[in-house]
């Protein structure tokens, strides 16, 4: 099966509203697979945005032979280029481990299964810089990591949504390179 072409970051951003509904309405398996796939495309879209316009971009990013065609390679490259912070990189690794645990289980597994719950607990919440006040009550005093409450599924979804938003905002704010460096035409 041929993989879809890597969408532009603007398309991913427009589709992100649909993602949030899917994360809440799918089974745990569907939620994890869709979340990890979307994060993978967001990473690819971010990297594509920063590469020069060239046919080589497809060779690098498209599976199976592309050197930056895997979730792990894209995550590592985004971190090494300084596009994402260490906590987000660690979360990408954890999401990959969660996805792999689901994919390699021959029995029904959920986000509440012992092995998966440990991984969900390892997800690092984003640091919020501002104080949040709702109905004249302080709900978060920044800067500090956001408090994650709720079920494993709710905490997983919240972290994924923040991760997606960070990747998309980074991509949307990046300037697309249009030319290769001159000098050895």
Structure tokens given for 118 = 């440990």
Instruction: For residue 133, list its beta bridge partners.
Output: 138
Strands 137-140 and 132-134: antiparallel
Q: What percent of the chain has pLDDT over 90?
A: 62
Q: Give the pLDDT confidence of 67-106 residue by residue, as tens digits.
A: 899 999 999 999 999 999 999 999 999 999 999 999 998 8
Domains and CATH numbers, the chain: 9-173 (1.20.120.330)
Strand, coil or helix: 144: strand
- Give pLDDT tens digits for 44-71: 999 999 888 888 888 889 877 888 999 9
Q: What is the mean pLDDT of residues 3-26?
A: 88
The pLDDT of 161-180, averaged and rounded, is 85
State the pLDDT at residue 176: 67
Which residues fall within 8 angstroms of residue 141, CB to CB, at 6 or more apart?
131
User: Residue 180: what pLDDT?
Assistant: 61
- pTM equals 0.87
Q: 101 vs 68, 118, 128, 132, 135, CA distance in Å?
A: 23, 12, 30, 36, 41
Residue (of 1, 22, 5, 8) closest to 51 by Cα position: 8
Percent of the chain past pLDDT 70, that is, above it, reads 91
Confidence (pLDDT) at 1: 52
Confidence of residue 131 (pLDDT cuts 50, 70, 90): confident
How does the average pLDDT of the chain come out, rounded?
A: 89
Write down the H helix ranges in the chain: 9-25, 28-50, 56-61, 71-80, 86-103, 114-122, 152-173
* pLDDT surpasses 80 at 164: yes
Spatial distance between the Cα atoms of 48 and 61, rounded to a whole number of angstroms: 8
Q: 170 in helix, strand or coil?
A: helix
Give residue 53's pLDDT: 82
Using alpha carbons, list the distances in angstroms from residue 61 to 6, 65, 107: 8, 9, 33
């Amino acid at each position: 099966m041929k993989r879809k072409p890597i969408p532009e970051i603007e398309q991913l951003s427009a589709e992100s509203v649909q993602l949030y509904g899917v994360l809440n309405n799918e089974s745990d398996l569907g939620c994890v697979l869709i979340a990890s796939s979307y994060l993978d495309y967001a990473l690819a879209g971010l990297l594509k945005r920063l590469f020069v316009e060239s046919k080589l971009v497809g060779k690098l990013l498209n599976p199976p032979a592309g050197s930056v065609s895997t979730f792990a390679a894209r995550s590592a490259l985004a971190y090494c280029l300084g596009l994402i912070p260490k906590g987000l990189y660690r979360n990408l690794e954890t999401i990959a481990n969660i996805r792999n645990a689901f994919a390699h289980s021959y029995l029904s597994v959920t986000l509440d299964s012992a092995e998966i719950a440990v991984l969900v607990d390892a997800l690092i919440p984003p640091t919020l810089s501002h104080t949040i006040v709702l109905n004249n009550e302080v709900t978060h005093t920044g800067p500090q990591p956001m408090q994650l409450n709720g079920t494993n599924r709710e905490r997983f979804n919240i972290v994924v949504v923040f991760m997606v938003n960070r990747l998309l905002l980074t991509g949307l704010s990046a300037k697309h390179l249009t030319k290769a460096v001159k000098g050895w035409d």
